[in-house]
Amino acid sequence: MSEDGRKYTDPELEKFLKENKEMMERLFRENKEMMDRFFREEKERIRDAFDEEIKRAEAFSGEKKDKAKDAAQEVYNAFTDPEVQRHFLAMGMEFMMGMNALISAMPFPEQMKDMAKKAEEARKSTSENFSKAGADRGKGMKPAPPEKINVEPAPKKSQSKAKKSSADRDDS
């Protein structure tokens, strides 16, 4: 179309198009086939690259997961080492003895000092039992199985009782 909106026709161009119609259709068809093939090849190349990156990411993730498991196992083994456990237990006992000595040395009421003495007796008893258990284990004796303790929660106050007790506090 021309600038003024009228249709412009060139007789030579029309003649050329009519004479070469088959050749132009073939060129357009070949161009379209070439572009389709190009897009298919590119799509396949991109898909292969993406799949390769996914495989690399999974391998990397697997390596990091294995390293994390190994590190966690090393930490667990360190904390569960019997020698470490023995030192932690001794540290706890020493702490208890230090607190007992501190309470005995400070100006607390006799009731507090009596409680500290009872704690010291409990510590000594625990230490003796622990030592005895270690000696018995060396003789092939099995330790006593853990004792099951059932703990039941205290009953909840009903809503009306709770409101009533808060109203009692407000009155006073």
Average pLDDT in the 129-154 region?
71
| φ and ψ of 149, to 5 deg | -120, 125
Q: Which region holds residue 9: left if phi is over 0, alpha if psi is between -120 and 50, else beta?
A: beta
Q: How many domains does the chain have?
A: 2
pLDDT the model gives residue 66: 92
Domain presence at residue 92: yes
Instruction: Note whether residue 162 is domain-resident.
Output: no
Q: Answer whether residue 145 is part of any domain.
A: no
pLDDT in tens, 21-64: 888 899 999 999 999 999 999 999 999 999 999 999 999 999 99
The residue length of the chain stands at: 172
Same domain, 61 and 13: yes
Higher-confidence position of 72 and 5: 72
Residues 65 and 121 in one domain: no
Whether residues 30 and 74 share a domain: the answer is yes
At residue 99, the 3 state secondary structure works out as helix
Whether 75 and 12 share a structural domain: yes
Note whether residue 60 is domain-resident: yes
Domain that holds residue 43: 8-80
**Statement to judge: residues 27 and 73 lie in one domain:** yes
DSSP assignment letter at 5: S
44-72 as b/e, with b when 16 or more CB fall inside 10 Å?
A: eeeeeeeeeeeeeeeeeeeeeeeeeeeee
Which of 80, 101, 120 terminates a domain? The answer is 80
Q: Answer whether residue 70 shows pLDDT above 60.
A: yes
In a domain, 151, yes or no: no
Q: Which residue, 74, 138, 126, is CA-closest to 96?
A: 126
> Does residue 2 have a pLDDT over 60?
no
Q: Are residues 110 and 129 in the same domain?
A: yes
